[in-house]
Amino acid sequence: MKIPKRIQPLVDDGLVDDVIRQLMSGKEATVYVVRCGSEIRCAKVYKEANKRSFKKASQYQEGRKVRNSRRARAMEKGSKYGRHEQEQSWQTAEVDALHRLDDAGVRVPKPYCCVDGVLLMELVTDDEGDVAPRLGDVDMPTEIALEDHAMMMTYIVRMLCAGLVHGDLSEFNVLVDETGPVIIDLPQAVDAAGNNHAEMMLARDVNKIRDYYSLYAPELKNTQYAKEIWALYENGELHPESKLSGKFAENEQVADVDRVLDEIKAAWQEEQDRILRMSDEGTELKF
């Protein structure tokens, strides 16, 4: 096929030899199957910000660290340079996340390089060498659903231990090859410690995956993995090999409102008494 304009620089630099076909076009990128020497890989071409349909991108970028202070200030001000740097940050976030997650033992496509908004990475294939199907296109027996769901929960735990939440995880961005699920599409990956929406996004990720696998294993439907995982994380007890039960006991202890109000009143009265004593002694009040 005709070489897309955005991939041409990679061809000129010898990184890509041929573009075989378009694989898919999504809300933030178009993906092509390409040939690099003797290997078949994929090239993910990120869409420009004004052409992306990814909603609330700023919500996902909250808490991401920018080492260069000039870049950070420009991004905050929204200047032309800042918008360019914001776009670069969005594109390189996936490369960083792929490397971190691969190191953490999460199955993701291997990244090779990212040049001018084009990410060159491993093409995930099935046992016949064809492009691996998405999870949403796969039927499975109950035992495989339970096994793969458990593996996905392990991956989510390892992601969180590596400081990341996928943020948009569902059956549409998980591929399935001969050995199980592979997580894809990570430009919106969330900084777990620095993003105020991280807990909500983790719960959404976990519950979407649970709901899909429960179509084949109904016993998963009422599990509470999201709450269990986040509680362990908040308490500093989560580690990459944490054993999960899918159960979570809510704290049903009712707050003693009257006791709290009495303590507030007592503290207020104590402060009033202190002020009165200081006034009687002619001491200058300092606040």
Catalytic residue list: 168, 185
Find the largest Cα–Cα distance for the chain: 91
- Asked whether 135 and 212 are in contact (CB, 8 A), the reply is yes
Write the pLDDT tens digit of every residue in 123-147.
999 989 899 999 999 999 999 999 9
Model's pTM, two decimal places?
Answer: 0.77
The residue ranking higher by pLDDT, 252 or 37, is: 37
Amino acid at 24: M
pLDDT at 78 over 80: no
pLDDT at 228 over 80: yes
Confidence label for 50 from pLDDT (cuts 50, 70 and 90): low
pLDDT score recorded for residue 10: 97
Mean pLDDT of all residues in 58-71: 53
Residue 37 corresponds to which tokens in the numbers above? 């020497």
Residue 219 corresponds to which tokens in the numbers above? 């016993």
- Asked whether 44 and 110 are in contact (CB, 8 A), the reply is no
pLDDT score recorded for residue 75: 45
Question: What are the C-alpha distances in Å from 253 to residues 177, 221, 224, 249, 261?
Answer: 46, 26, 19, 11, 17
pLDDT score recorded for residue 285: 44
pLDDT score recorded for residue 258: 76
In the DSSP assignment, the letter for residue 2 is P
Mean pLDDT of all residues in 215-220: 98
> Quick one: which H or E segment has residue 90?
helix 80-103
Q: Can you spell out the DSSP letters for 14-36?
A: TS-SEEEEEEEE-SSEEEEEEEE
Mean pLDDT of all residues in 191-217: 96
Average pLDDT for the chain: 86
- Asked whether 45 and 31 are in contact (CB, 8 A), the reply is yes
pLDDT score recorded for residue 74: 44
pLDDT score recorded for residue 147: 98
Domains in the chain, ordered, with CATH? 8-234 (1.10.510.10)
Closest CA to 26 of 41, 45, 1: 45
| 230 vs 220: CA distance, rounded Å | 18
- Asked whether 31 and 50 are in contact (CB, 8 A), the reply is no
Write the pLDDT tens digit of every residue in 14-39.
999 999 999 999 888 999 999 999 99
pLDDT score recorded for residue 91: 73
What lies within 8 Å, CB to CB, of 212 at 6+ separation is 135, 136, 170, 171
